Amino acid sequence: MAGEESTRTAGEAGWHVSRYNLSARVPNTKMVAIANLFKGNCAEYTPIELYLLSVLEELDEYHPIIERFSRRGVIVNFDELAALESMGRMACSGTRSVGLTICPTMGCNFDCPYCFEYHVQGCMSPEVQDDVVALAERMLKNSGGKTLDVTWFGGEPLLAPQIIESLSRRLIALAEDCGLAAAKVSSAQVTIDGLAATHDATRYLRGGGPTFDRIVSNLRNVSIPFTVRVRHNVHEGNRTEMDELEAFVKQLAEESGNNITYYPAPVSGSKAADERGKQVGLLCGSDASDVSLRLEAGRFRVGRGHYCGAHGLWSLGIDDQGNLYKCWEIVGKTAFSFGNARDWDPVNPIATASKPDNLTMYLNTAAPIADEECRECVWLPMCIGGCPHKRLLGNRDCLAFRDDPESYVLALHKRIGEDKPKEPKHKR
């Protein structure tokens, strides 16, 4: 307790500086910004605070600065790596929500050259829809989760709006909290790849035809009752338009009165895109550092033991045939399917999987991570070893800016006090 006499130092009491601190001097000041990746906190520190941090273990265990430092996560009295590993184990089976990424169709009316998917025409049959609802019921009853989180994916899911509406009504009957306006959609994602000419050069319709003006008109002239996140798929041909497009999206939000936000995401390669023979200039590794830094700084969050839903039993993707997958980048690629909505039972997940290895190999990429370099890396609370699918393919997905922590901290520093945007729940 503050004010209580002690014969122990903070070090003797178990306090030490966090292993997951990153720092950078704030330009034109004497202040230093410190970001703690485990706590998900970034704050400024004065010279006297920095001095106290440097002699932390010599301070009295009840020194008043201890409470402030610990609240921000820059000092701890526990093993953060062990905590991350425990969080990883719990993520595999524990849940607060059942997550379903549902593809009512794998078809698409676009023909983007960098797309990682193989588009097959056809829609989810009534029988498969019945299987999806029955699976959702099994998962809700046995997971202990309090909500059902639905993401509509594809293909282009809005090519089959009647399936979205029908399944939404049935799924809402199973759980009151799920995601479309009449169907309780909380957010949507729309992709714009630059200003008009640049966008239309890559995001065109099947058979050709521009799409920029139609998308912008819908965003400007339709009252949208949920958040729309504009995703900018950044490649060598459009990376110079990031600032201009972000300003355009901000103006669009002001003109329309809609809640529209912007975020960039680097384009990487895929077999499907390579086979199209029209690959755009990719951004990979350090080439994507500026884009990746901007994206990650915009979604700074508390450290966790899992990378994505691929690390949890209660999160999965479903294609239009009812096949089940652990990653939405492989939905529709049946070689990666681990079972079918008709037969799979999460109460006995291995025995009811038609290809158990396709389930367990994803779950087993969760923390604890066997890769010693990852275990010792300061970025671990953020990346948790990177994308499970890429890791399984032998490509460790390190952060593009991992050798430039100062730039990341300063990007976070600029955002101090801002509201953090929510992750998109609908793909378009």
Please check whether residue 425 lies inside any domain of the structure: no
Gap between the Cα atoms of 380 and 400, Å rounded: 14
Gap between the Cα atoms of 23 and 405, Å rounded: 8
Please check whether residue 427 lies inside any domain of the structure: no
Cβ-based neighbour number of residue 428 at 10 Å: 17
Rg, C-alpha atoms of the chain: 23
Please check whether residue 304 lies inside any domain of the structure: yes
Residues 265 and 190 in one domain: yes
Provide CB contacts within 8 A for 267, sequence distance 6+: 114, 233, 234, 235, 280, 282, 283
Q: Please give the tally of structural domains in the chain.
A: 2
Q: How far, CA to CA in Å, does 356 sit from each of 126, 338, 359, 391?
A: 27, 6, 5, 18
Domain end call among 31, 49, 78: 78
Domain end call among 28, 53, 78: 78
Q: Would you give per-residue pLDDT tens digits along the chain (428 residues)? A: 455 566 899 999 999 999 999 999 999 999 999 999 999 999 999 999 999 999 999 999 999 999 999 999 999 999 999 999 999 888 887 777 899 999 999 999 998 888 888 888 899 999 999 999 999 999 988 888 778 889 999 889 999 999 999 999 999 888 654 336 455 778 999 999 999 999 999 999 988 899 999 999 999 999 999 999 999 999 999 999 999 999 999 999 999 999 999 999 988 877 777 777 666 887 777 788 888 988 898 889 898 888 898 999 999 999 999 999 999 889 999 999 999 999 999 999 999 999 999 999 999 988 888 889 999 999 999 999 889 998 898 888 889 899 999 999 999 999 876 655 444 443 43
Domain end call among 25, 52, 78: 78
Residues 29 and 95 in one domain: no
388: helix, strand or coil: helix
Per-residue pLDDT at 6: 62
| CATH assignment of the domain containing 234 | 3.20.20.70
Please check whether residue 116 lies inside any domain of the structure: yes
Q: What's the domain range around 232?
A: 89-414
Residues 34 and 154 in one domain: no
Cβ-based neighbour number of residue 316 at 10 Å: 28
Gap between the Cα atoms of 161 and 405, Å rounded: 44
14: left (phi over 0), alpha (psi -120 to 50) or beta: left
Per-residue pLDDT at 393: 86
Residues 301 and 393 in one domain: yes
Residues 244 and 289 in one domain: yes
Gap between the Cα atoms of 219 and 256, Å rounded: 7
Per-residue pLDDT at 321: 97
Please check whether residue 7 lies inside any domain of the structure: no
Please check whether residue 192 lies inside any domain of the structure: yes
Per-residue pLDDT at 181: 47
Please check whether residue 355 lies inside any domain of the structure: yes
Please check whether residue 249 lies inside any domain of the structure: yes
Gap between the Cα atoms of 314 and 93, Å rounded: 7
Residues 203 and 349 in one domain: yes
